[in-house]
Structures are given as structure tokens and as C-alpha cells.
């Protein structure tokens, strides 16, 4: 639906990476717990720097029975037997996402948390509690997590800093929300805590493969991490050949020059300054096959269908391209655009992820490019993709999709999600965008 001009990312062929840690233990007297409920409601991850935890530690006596710290793997609480959270340890910190193991013991719950997805520091917190909200409160206090926004100890949030401002949340490794004691299995539970309140797949490291289950028509797929920063994944054979053909055939008679959502400083400029493809939005409610793909995308992202915009079908012919841009809306760049500010609720909701469908192969060119891969230099002009030496490049392959995140696990906008479409040199590129929002968007866009 809405399209807008923005800025850049980088590398040279799709890849993966991750690392970090901290442990926290919570004990409370609890009766027998009901068995695990597989509620299918999704959210997102979060990661945290260790300095704020050092500050917390300095305020607590090392002899305080409610708070104990361990710098190595020897802890007085139960071992991590039964938990497999260590398989998700990242090579580098993932700020806003914390990994954990919550275990049932004879005296209550014991939670061990590894901050920022890393394994080199773990802390224990011991306290008595008898309800899930008490567990949340203790975890928030001991980890220095603010109810909304950044971690305590990082200083007050700049009111101009874009952030989706969601309460932090916990999920299972498969993206199932943990909202109550009933969502915890008896025994041990792997958990992921996200400061931004929304589930984001842990990338772990470049090349890491995640098995994603419960997908419409497919059952499960293998999702490979292509990049940790920005966070990019790929899935092959996500779309069936007949689905690619159907979408191309239905959209082709309606294709028109692509537009862009202009920032304040670009008002009055032509969309073709940045984008030369053609576009058509397909309303899912008119197409049962696309509704099936929508459900599959919901399963892939662990976000409800109501968080999706209608699919935008794209066609790039020879020499056509789309310069580097972001898919999120930075409210500071749309300060004089009341419609966009209303759409994003002044920054409280935003596009959090993009699932890019490749509907055809391309003989040459047409790669999706991320100029800021691993912190590369900003570059906007997709006519000169060859000059972006360090950029991540994803060549189109019919039936495949890539997933990249516009929001970080702590809810902030990810500037490194800058991406573009290199000019097609030979052939025609067919693709489609599915934008996934951090909140329900369908009723706001008239899709309900």
C-alpha cells in the first residue's frame, strides 16, 4: 500500500552470526502447574548491554540471599539440564534480546538468563513469589528492564528517538507467547525475552538454520540466516510454482508506475528519481490462493494476518531499479505529514519486518542489496550496485523469500535495514512485498 523513499545497507552473497550472556534465578513457592498450553499468539525479541547490570550488582550486597552472581558455569541452582537455550547463543551481542531457562524446582521457579544472547556472564536472582506477574516484576527489576522502552541505566530515552514503545515480553524459541504460568511446561523451559515486546527470530550466526513449523500447506521449512546486522533470513521453495504464476497473471493487467511515500524534504520530487519499477496491490480478500500465502507468512513471522498489508506485486524490466531505502517510517522525517504520523500512531507502531517474495528467476541483475551489511557505508543509488563492494546481495530465485527486520529487538528502528533493488540487466524480475507491522494494521488500512 504505502511506499516511501529512504536510505542504505551492505555485503556480497547471503549469510549468518550471534553471541552473549547473563543468568538470573527466581524461586517462589508454587503448587503443581498445569501442563503447557500451545497458545498461538506471537510477539518479538529484545537484547541488553551489560553495563547496566554492573550498576545493579553494585547496589546489592553479595551476601543478599535474594541476589547471587556467578561469573562462570558453576551455579548453586539447578543445572540447565532439560533446556537447550545454549544452542541460540550469539557470537555478538543482540541488544534487546535475552535468552533464558526457567525451571520448576521443589521450592518454586528458577530462572537463568543470558543477556543480549551471550553466554559469557550469567547472574542468579532468588526470591519468593506466587504469581506470573510477580515473576515478571522480579525479572524486570533484577535485569534493569523498563516497563516500556529501553533498559534502565541507559539514561532517559530521548523523546525524539523512534521506538515502538511496547512492554517487554517472553516467548518460546518457536515464537509462542509466554503470558502466564500456564504457558510454562513442567520441568524446564527455554525462553526468549524481548525488550521491544515483539518476537523476532534469533539469527544466532550467519549460516544458522532454523526449522520453522506450522506453516499453511507446507508444514515446515528451513530458514537460513544470511546476515545478523541487518537481520536477514532466506527460505527456499516457500511459494509453490502455481502460486507464482497465479500472482503474476492476476497482477499483470493492472501494473502501473511505482510510487513512493515522500519524506518532508523530498516533497515535490518525482518517484522516478528513486524508483522505476511498476506496481499493483492485490487485495487478499478477493483471492483464496493469496489468503493461503498470507497465512503462511503469518506462520513464518509469528505475527497475525491482521498485522499484514496487502501484497504489493512488483515488476522490474531491463534497467529498472529501486534505490536504497528503509521500509519503516521514521516520524522525524514525516513531521509535516499528518497522514503518515496517524498511520504510525506517532511512532508507537511501525513496519517491523518485510517478507520479499521472488516470483521469477532473473537472467542477470535484479539482486536485493543491503549496503549497510555489517555496518557498511551508506549508499543509495542502486544504478551502481557493482560499486557497493561490501554489500549483502540476494539474487532472485523463483519461489524463494527473504525476511528482513526493520525493528531491532529493543523496538528501535534498524538503520542497517537499508535495502534496494539493483537494476535488471537481462530478463524481467517479478517480486512482491509483504509488510508486517508491530501492531494490527489491517482495519486501519481498510483490509478488515
Q: Is residue 347 a part of any domain in this protein?
A: yes
Distance from C-alpha of 29 to C-alpha of 129, rounded to nearest angstrom: 6
Q: Which residues span the domain enclosing 100?
A: 51-194
For residue 117, the model assigns a pLDDT of 94
For residue 5, the model assigns a pLDDT of 37
What CATH number is given to the structural domain containing 346? 2.60.120.620
231 and 141 share a domain? no
Q: Is residue 402 a part of any domain in this protein?
A: yes
Q: Is residue 258 a part of any domain in this protein?
A: yes
142 and 249 share a domain? no
306 and 333 share a domain? yes
User: If you compute the radius of gyration of the chain from its CA atoms, what whole number of angstroms results?
Assistant: 22
60 and 117 share a domain? yes
Of 194, 219, 246, which residue sits at a domain end? 194
For residue 110, the model assigns a pLDDT of 84
370 and 345 share a domain? yes
> Measured between alpha carbons, how far is residue 71 from residues 19, 22, 68, 85 in Å?
16, 9, 10, 18
For residue 359, the model assigns a pLDDT of 99
pTM, two decimals, is 0.80
231 and 114 share a domain? no
For residue 121, the model assigns a pLDDT of 65
Mean pLDDT in consecutive groups of 10 residues from the start of the chain, 448 residues: 38 40 36 34 35 30 32 52 92 94 81 90 63 82 76 47 78 95 87 96 98 95 98 98 98 82 54 73 95 98 98 94 93 92 94 99 96 83 76 98 98 95 96 97 81
Of 194, 220, 239, which residue sits at a domain end? 194
251 and 383 share a domain? yes
Q: Based on the structure, what is the number of domains in the chain? A: 2
166 and 132 share a domain? yes
149 and 241 share a domain? no
Q: Is residue 158 a part of any domain in this protein?
A: yes
- The CB density around residue 142, as the number of other CB atoms within 10 Å, is 25
For residue 1, the model assigns a pLDDT of 40
Distance from C-alpha of 187 to C-alpha of 260, rounded to nearest angstrom: 52
230 preceded by cis ω (within 30°)?
yes
Q: Is residue 429 a part of any domain in this protein?
A: yes
Of 194, 227, 245, which residue sits at a domain end? 194
For residue 135, the model assigns a pLDDT of 80
250-298 pLDDT, tens digit each: 999 999 886 555 455 556 555 455 568 899 999 999 999 999 999 999 9
142 and 224 share a domain? no
Query: How large a percentage of the chain has pLDDT more than 90?
Result: 55
Amino acid at each position: 500500500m504505502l511506499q516511501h523513499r529512504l536510505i542504505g545497507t551492505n555485503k556480497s552473497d547471503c549469510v549468518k552470526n550471534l553471541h552473549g550472556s547473563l543468568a538470573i534465578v527466581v524461586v517462589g513457592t508454587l503448587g503443581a502447574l498445569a501442563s503447557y498450553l500451545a497458545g498461538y499468539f506471537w510477539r518479538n525479541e529484545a537484547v541488553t548491554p551489560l553495563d547496566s547490570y554492573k550498576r545493579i550488582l553494585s547496589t546489592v550486597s553479595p551476601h543478599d540471599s535474594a541476589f547471587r552472581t556467578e561469573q562462570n558455569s558453576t551455579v548453586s541452582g539447578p543445572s540447565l539440564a532439560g533446556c537447550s537455550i545454549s544452542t541460540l547463543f550469539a557470537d555478538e551481542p543482540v541488544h534487546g534480546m535475552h535468552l533464558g531457562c526457567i525451571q520448576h524446582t521443589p521450592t518454586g521457579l528458577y530462572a537463568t538468563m543470558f543477556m543480549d544472547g551471550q553466554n559469557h556472564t550469567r547472574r542468579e536472582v532468588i526470591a519468593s513469589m506466587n504469581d506470573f506477574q510477580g515473576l515478571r516484576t522480579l525479572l524486570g527489576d533484577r535485569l534493569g528492564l523498563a516497563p516500556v522502552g529501553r533498559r534502565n541505566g541507559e539514561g532517559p530515552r530521548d523523546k525524539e528517538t523512534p521506538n515502538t514503545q511496547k512492554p517487554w515480553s517472553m516467548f518460546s524459541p518457536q515464537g509462542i507467547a509466554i503470558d502466564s504460568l500456564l504457558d510454562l511446561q513442567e520441568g524446564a523451559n527455554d525462553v526468549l525475552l524481548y525488550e521491544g515486546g515483539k518476537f523476532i527470530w534469533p539469527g544466532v550466526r550467519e549460516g544458522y538454520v532454523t526449522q520453522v513449523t506450522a506453516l499453511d500447506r507446507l508444514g515446515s521449512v528451513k530458514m537460513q540466516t544470511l546476515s545478523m546486522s541487518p537481520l536477514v533470513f532466506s527460505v527456499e521453495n516457500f511459494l509453490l510454482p502455481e502460486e507464482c504464476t497465479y500472482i503474476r497473471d492476476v497482477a499483470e493487467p493492472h501494473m502501473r508506475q511505482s510510487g513512493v511515500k515522500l519524506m518532508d524534504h523530498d516533497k515535490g520530487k518525482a518517484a522516478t528519481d528513486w524508483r522505476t519499477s511498476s506496481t499493483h496491490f492485490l487485495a487478499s480478500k478477493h483471492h483464496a490462493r493469496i489468503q493461503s500465502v498470507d497465512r503462511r507468512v503469518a506462520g513464518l513471522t509469528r505475527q497475525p494476518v491482521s498485522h499484514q498489508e496487502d501484497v504489493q506485486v512488483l515488476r522490474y524490466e531491463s534497467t529498472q531499479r529501486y534505490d536504497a531505502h528503509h521500509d519503516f517510517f521514521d516520524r522525524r522525517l514525516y513531521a509535516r505529514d499528518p497522514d503518515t504520523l496517524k498511520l504510525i500512531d506517532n511512532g508507537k507502531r511501525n513496519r517491523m519486518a518485510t517478507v520479499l517474495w521472488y516470483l521469477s528467476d532473473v537472467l542477470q541483475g535484479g539482486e536485493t542489496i543491503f549496503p549497510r551489511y555489517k555496518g557498511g557505508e551508506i549508499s543509495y543509488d542502486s544504478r551502481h550496485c557493482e560499486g557497493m563492494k561490501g554489500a549483502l546481495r540476494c539474487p532472485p530465485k523463483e519461489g524463494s523469500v527473504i525476511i528482513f527486520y526493520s525493528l531491532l529487538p529493543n523496538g528501535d528502528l534498524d538503520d542497517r535495514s537499508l535495502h534496494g533493488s539493483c537494476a535488471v540487466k537481462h530478463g524481467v524480475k517479478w517480486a512482491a512485498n509483504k509488510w508486517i507491522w508491530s501492531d494490527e494494521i489491517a482495519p486501519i488500512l481498510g483490509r478488515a
